[in-house]
Structure formats: C-alpha cells, structure tokens
Amino acid sequence: MQHVGKVPKRQPDASRQQFDLIRLKLQLKEAIDEENYEKAAGLRDQIRQVELELRSSSPAT
C-alpha cells in the first residue's frame, strides 16, 4: 500500500520530479514482478524522461 498525500504548493519542481521518479521506480519493480513487461517498458521510458529533465534542470557545476 502506498500513501499518496498532498504535495506542498511551493514545492520546487526538482522535488516533485524526485518524488515522481521514486514512484515510477516502485511501479516498475511491481510490473517486473508481475511479468508485465510492456508496462515495465513504458515505465522505463518515463523514468528516463524524468531523469533527463532532472539533469537538464540542475545547475551546472
């Protein structure tokens, strides 16, 4: 069971994306455990997109 609560309105986009990334990775694990590989592939693609967005929004060091 997963708790889904309210997200603060002032929450930075990076924090929201991190939360989404964790949620997607949990869903990916569940899809693999259930041998639902088509769903897993879609989730994998979503994870890659969120990770790309996180990298592009983080300041260069």
Question: Cα dist. 27→9, 12, 53, 58, 60 in Å?
Answer: 25, 23, 19, 25, 30
What is this structure's pTM? 0.72
Helices 13-33 and 37-57, axial angle in degrees (round to 10): 160
- Cα–Cα distance, 4 to 14 (Å, whole number): 18
pLDDT for position 6 = 65
Note the pLDDT of residue 57.
77
Q: What is the mean pLDDT of each run of 10 residues along the chain (61 residues)?
A: 62 81 97 98 97 80 52
